[in-house]
Amino acid sequence: MYLHLETERLRLRPLQLADAEFIRQLVNTDGWLRFIGNRQVANRADAERYIQNILDSERFFYQIFALKATHQPVGVVTFLRRASLAHPDIGFALLPAFENQGYAFEAVSGYLHKIRQSNQYENVLGITMPTNVKSIRLLTKLGLHFHHDFEQNGETLALYSLEAAHQ
């Protein structure tokens, strides 16, 4: 679900092809590579292909969040309706220089609030690696509860759920 949204310090908007350089930087940060994986985005053309694949999907939604004061993109909120899951999952990433300033919480909580207001989704999930302490901390601060670990592509992942009694 794409939205235009403002929070106290941020503007959220849908991903666009013009975000190619920002996306190239973001998907090559240590955190993205370690916890999300290598997306093989080495240059602007790769980034544009990566973005176009997202834009062509009816199941994947990427929101860029940028600082209001400077319009600089600093992170992304993802909302993915994966065929393998009963409910959509929310994710987030931001450039390392902007970590630990509350931007991810501000962006994701604002987006999640709008998702819940829409009444289109009975539950929202969060998936992360059990070793991704920052992600787990943010998911729980957002009100998601640990449900269980599961295996996917040879990796153990932790599933969190907005609905405490998620089945």
Task: Give the model's pLDDT for residue 153.
Answer: 86
Where does 27-69 have alpha helices with state H?
A: 30-35, 44-56
- Long-range interactions of 127-135: CB distance < 8 A, separation 24+: 127/89, 127/91, 127/157, 127/158, 127/159, 127/160, 128/35, 128/157, 128/158, 128/160, 129/35, 129/155, 129/156, 129/157, 129/158, 130/156, 130/157, 130/158, 132/35, 134/31, 134/99, 135/35, 135/92
- The structure tokens 């941020």 sit at 10
* Residue 119, domain member (yes or no): yes
* Residue 55, domain member (yes or no): yes
Task: Give the model's pLDDT for residue 164.
Answer: 63
Domain limits at 51?
5-161
Angle formed by the axes of helices 103-118 and 133-141, nearest 10°: 50
* Residue 142, domain member (yes or no): yes
Query: Residues 125, 136, 127, 162: what is their CA dihedral angle, to the nearest 10 degrees?
Result: -10
Task: Give the model's pLDDT for residue 15.
Answer: 98
Burial (0-12, 13-18, 19+ Cβ within 10 Å), 65: buried
Task: Give the model's pLDDT for residue 142.
Answer: 96
* Residue 167, domain member (yes or no): no
Give the count of domains, the chain: 1
Distance CA 33, CA 110 (A): 26
Q: The domain spanning residue 124 has which CATH number? A: 3.40.630.30
Chain CA centroid to CA 62, Å? 7
* Residue 26, domain member (yes or no): yes
* Residue 47, domain member (yes or no): yes
Task: Give the model's pLDDT for residue 163.
Answer: 86
- Residues of the chain with confidence (pLDDT) below 70: 164-167
* Residue 10, domain member (yes or no): yes
* Residue 166, domain member (yes or no): no
